[in-house]
Structures are given as structure tokens and as C-alpha cells.
DNA sequence: ACAGCCATGTAACTCGTTACATGATTAC
DNA sequence: GTAATCATGTAACGAGTTACATGGCTGT
């Protein structure tokens, strides 16, 4: 029974694989906090739609704890996740970078606008870096090998390094644009 | 007449903004070559659909040169592009990174699979880097300030640096995974 | 002659979004 | 009591994909 699910489904399954049952609402919060850096954070409505589907496929199970419906992975869900991890071909990352896209058309803008484009991006980078750093520190204490958040921590470090490097690239571009090199 | 077009429309308009009229087929080739690194390369069918729409909006004009229909920017198209560049809010980049997503779930895999995951990604990075480098060298000769491909060159350098840094991150992660740090 | 590329499109479909709607609980 | 947060969903829609179909031109 090879159910072809989109990657986002497995991303949500993945969030549930850390053990704690989560409601749709909580799932969205986790996605906003961490998943959005490496994948996407689906819209609220999409989360619930997805939960219905996963439940329909028997990959998750509602655990009614009163007012809110939390879901936890079923054995089938764990298996599906394992199978996905081991057999699904991995594509190359897709980057949608509005700043790079605009810089490509830098010739259509006046120099001051190009400069502001990059400076604004530096600010945005700073902000995102801070947000990710917060996540990173929240993982401290469980980030040693064999601990629960070992891999999330590694990925967070990856992301932090990525932001830091992008910052230096942008600064470099700004310099090159000023003195034509 | 604020026609709300998706970013991809403006990306295609942008490709036409370099002066040369292009057919749908050629547009797709350019997108495959350069645009895909910073945005997406739309499917062939999507390119034609998009061209119809842009033509319908009067932003591009078919220049019939025999067997194939090439399109060039109209004045309205140029204006639309300028307006988009100067007034549309710029979102933060969206990254869909299947490798990071899987590494997040590294605890569900055996160590050897995690290792292979990262090693395979290194190979893929190498390949993409080579492809982009080819683009970069093809721009040489027109990449000086005030020349046509100045900004595309800057963006290509940005991309190259990004790939190179990602390589060092992955190598770092591999090291950290081996000796638990 | 046949393969491969150039060239253009249609149809069906999925993913995911925004807008909208509703109501319970909690904090001040 | 009232604002914010928690909680869940429906409906309409748009962007973009894959699969399919077609045909001319080019090189060997």
C-alpha cells in the first residue's frame, strides 16, 4: 500500500515522531518555530486537512484528552516514515530567493534602491538569525549524542551558519557594488 | 490597473528585460540555466500559459520571426517590472531543503544512512556548483560595472559562494556526527 | 530513415493559500 | 468584561505539476 503523500505530510509526521502527541494548533506552532527554516510552515487550515488525511491513512491516531484533539504516531505511521526516509529519492533543495531575483535585475533599479534592497535583507537576516538562535538555545540540554534533540540541534547549527554566511556575502556584494569590482 | 501577478510572472518578464526576444522554449532554457538557482524553473506548459497571460495583459508582444514565436517586453511590461521592483514588499527567502528535513529525523535512521545522506548531498552540491560555474564563466566579458550581465554575475557569484559554504557545513556535520560533538 | 531537438499547447489534478466562520478558555 | 490565545474547520481559488498530444526541422 504505497500511499503517495507530499513531503509536507512526512514533515508533519516527523514532528510527531519526537514522541509528544500534538494538536493541530501545536503542530502549527512547531512548524512556525523550526520547520519553516528548512521546509515550509503550512497554513493552519492545511495542517488540519493534513491531519485528517494522515488519520484516514491510519498513520496517526487522535488521543482525546478533553477539549483539544492531540494526535500521535501509530505504528503504521512510524513505518511509513521509516520507509519514506529510506526509499524516497531526495531532490536538490529549492530556494525561492526574492532578493537574489531582484538583484538579478539590478540594472533596472537606481543604485540607491539596490543598496537599500541589500541593507534591508541584512536586517531581515539578523531577525531570522535571532529567531533561530532562540530555538537553538531551547534545545540545549538535550542536544548531546543519543539525546532526543541531537539532530534538530545539528540542523539548527547548520541554519545559523547559513544565515551568518549569507550576511557576509551580502556585505561583500555591497562593497563590490560601491567600488566597481 | 494593478494586475496582481505571481512572482514567477515577473521572473519571466525579468528574463525578457535583457533585451533579446525569446520563445517559450528558449525562456524555459534560460530558466533552467539560471533562474532555477534563485527561484524556480517553471514547467514547459507553465511557461506557455504564462506567456499567454502576459501577452493578454499587454506586457509582452509576440514578434513573429517565422516558425517560432518570440516575445519581447512592451513599454507597459517594462513599466510593470519597474513598478514591481520598486513597490512590491519583499518576503524572506523560502528554502525547501529535503536533506535538512531528513537530518532533522536522523534519530530514526541508522548512522550509516545519515552518513550516506550527507555524502550524497555533497556530490549533488558539487554537480550544481559546476553547473553554476559554467553559467558564471559564460557571463565573463560582460560582467563589468555598466555592462549587461553585471548583476547576473554578482548573483552567480553569490550562488557559488553559497554552494561552497554549504559544502563546508556538511563536511563539518559529518565530522561532528562521527566524533560526537 | 530515424533520433533528437525545437516548438506549442490541453486536461486533469494536487498542493497550498486566503478569507471566512465559529466557539471555548485564559489572563488581566 | 473583554482581549488574546487556543482550537477547528469550510469554501473558493490560484499556481504549478504531470501526462498527454502533436508536428516541424535537423543532423547523420
pLDDT in tens, A147-181: 999 999 999 999 999 999 999 999 999 999 998 87
Q: pLDDT (tens digit, 9 = 90+) per residue, B128-147?
A: 999 999 999 999 999 999 99
Q: Assess whether B85 (CB) lies less than 7 A from strand D.
A: no
Which nucleotide, over all strands, has the C1' atom closest to the CA of B65? C7
Q: How close, in Å, is residue B173 to chain A by CA atoms?
A: 7
**Beta-bridge partner residues of B94:** A96
List the B49 CA – D27 C1' distance (angstroms): 31
Query: pLDDT of A21-56, one tens digit each?
Result: 999 999 999 999 999 999 999 999 999 999 999 999
* Cα→Cα distances A39→A94, A96, A164, B58, Å: 9, 11, 19, 36
Contact B150 A107 (CB under 8 A): yes
pLDDT the model gives residue B135: 96
Q: Which pLDDT value is given to residue B3?
A: 65
Q: How far apart are CA A92 and CA A102, in angstroms?
A: 23
Residue A65: its pLDDT value, please? Answer: 73
pLDDT of residue A179: 86
Task: Report the C-alpha gap between B130 and B136 in whole angstroms.
Answer: 10
CB atoms near residue A59 (< 10 Å): 25
State which residue of chain B sits closest to A159, comparing Cα positions: B100
Cell digits of residue A47: 495542517
Could you give the 3-state DSSP secondary structure of residue A167? helix
Taking only the tens place, the pLDDT of each residue in B83-130 is 999 999 999 999 999 999 999 999 999 999 999 999 999 999 999 999
**What's residue B4's pLDDT?**
87
A56 touches strand C (CB under 7 A): no
CB B37 within 8 A of CB B49: no
Tell me which residue of B68, B69, B65 sits closest to B55, measured CA to CA: B69
- With CA of B40 and C1' of each nucleotide, the nearest comes out as D16
At residue A118, the pLDDT reads: 98
Residue nearest to nucleotide C24 (CA to C1'): A67
Q: What is the pLDDT of residues A72-106, one digit of tens each?
A: 999 999 999 999 999 999 999 999 999 999 999 99
Q: pLDDT category, B41, cuts 50, 70, 90?
A: very high
Å between CA of A15 and C1' of C14: 23
Residue B12: pLDDT band (50, 70, 90) is very high
The CA distances from residue B118 to A50, A165, B172, in Å, are 29, 20, 10
Q: Is the pLDDT of residue B1 over 80?
A: no
Model-wide pTM > 0.85: yes
CA nearest to B30, candidates B81, B94, B73, B42: B42
Least confident of A53-67, A130-144, B43-57, B74-88: A53-67
Amino acid at each position: 500500500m504505497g500511499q503517495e503523500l507530499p513531503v509536507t505530510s512526512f514533515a508533519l509526521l516527523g514532528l510527531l515522531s519526537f514522541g509528544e502527541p500534538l494538536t493541530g494548533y501545536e503542530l502549527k506552532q512547531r512548524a512556525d518555530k523550526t520547520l519553516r527554516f528548512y521546509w515550509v510552515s503550512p497554513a493552519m487550515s492545511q495542517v488540519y486537512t493534513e491531519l485528517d488525511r494522515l488519520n484516514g491513512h491510519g498513520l496517526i491516531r487522535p488521543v482525546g484528552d478533553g477539549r483539544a484533539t492531540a494526535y500521535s504516531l501509530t505504528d503504521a505511521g512510524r513505518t511509513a516514515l521509516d520507509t519514506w526516509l529510506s526509499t524516497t529519492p531526495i531532490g536538490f533543495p529549492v530556494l525561492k530567493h526574492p532578493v537574489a531575483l531582484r538583484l538579478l535585475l539590478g540594472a533596472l533599479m537606481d543604485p540607491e534602491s539596490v543598496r537599500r534592497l541589500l541593507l534591508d535583507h541584512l536586517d531581515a537576516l539578523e531577525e531570522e538569525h535571532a529567531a533561530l538562535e532562540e530555538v537553538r538555545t531551547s534545545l540545549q540540554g538535550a542536544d548531546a549524542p543519543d539525546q532526543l534533540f541531537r539532530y534538530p540541534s545539528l540542523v539548527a547549527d547548520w541554519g545559523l551558519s547559513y544565515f551568518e554566511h549569507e550576511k557576509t556575502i551580502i556585505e561583500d556584494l555591497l562593497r563590490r557594488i560601491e567600488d566597481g569590482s
